[in-house]
Amino acid sequence: MKKVSLLLVFISNLFPQVDYNTQIQPIFDNNCTSCHIYGNASGGSTLTSYSSVMTNSNSGASVVPGDHASSLLWQRVNNGSMPPQNNPDLSADQINLIAQWIDQGASLQLSKDINIYPQKHIIHQNYPNPFNPITSLRYDLPENEMVNITIFDMMGRIVKTLVNSSQTAGYKSIQWNATNNRNESVSAGLYLYTIQAGKFRQTKKMMLLK
């Protein structure tokens, strides 16, 4: 097991700002994305891009900007559970660099003064799919706006309203536990989920197994 010195928390700002595209993403591309693509890994995390890395896994916050010790991504590379045992572990330098990047704010760009938001609306395919009984819905908001996410059955009837509120820009995630608006379990089958954010509207299908 490789451990990062606790001093890294206090001195990370003394080091040059870590560049995500040239220093962090190549680590994932060379060691992780063969498994962590489109949410196929057991934890549900995808590591193929900045937006996917910043999206929560099934177990919680993948990256907590400013706090590498609370970030599941760092915990798993540090304890050797990622990459899997049949692949070489990341080097101590690579693990330290990931921690440094997180502690510096987990920014995509070099400037700390630039806030990083999605460039466009995206609603990702739910994961897992098919699922039983919980699935995660991820979506990207490029600006602050009113968001509505609704589950429909194949007859077009509303099953569950997951979100109906104003939200800030960012990379979002919400879970559905296969219940309706009365908190009753729904039957197995195909369902639709629709996101409407401003003028953006998109619908995808998902399947519940029992």
pLDDT tens string 46-104: 777 788 788 766 556 688 888 888 888 888 888 877 765 555 678 888 898 898 888 88
Residue 62 within any structural domain of the chain: yes
Residue 88 within any structural domain of the chain: yes
Asked whether residue 126 falls in the same domain as residue 99, the answer is no
The mean pLDDT of 180-192, rounded to a whole number, is: 95
What confidence tier does 5 reach under pLDDT thresholds 50, 70, 90? very low
State the pTM of this model.
0.52
Between the two ends of the chain, the Cα-to-Cα distance in Å is 39
The pLDDT assigned to 43 comes to 53
Most confident of 55-69, 70-84, 110-124, 136-150: 136-150
Structural domain that includes position 88 = 7-103
Alpha helices in 5-143 (DSSP H): 7-11, 25-31, 50-53, 72-78, 92-103
Q: Taking a C-beta distance cutoff of 8 angstroms, is the pair 124, 138 a contact?
A: yes
The mean pLDDT of 146-159, rounded to a whole number, is: 95
Residue 183 within any structural domain of the chain: yes
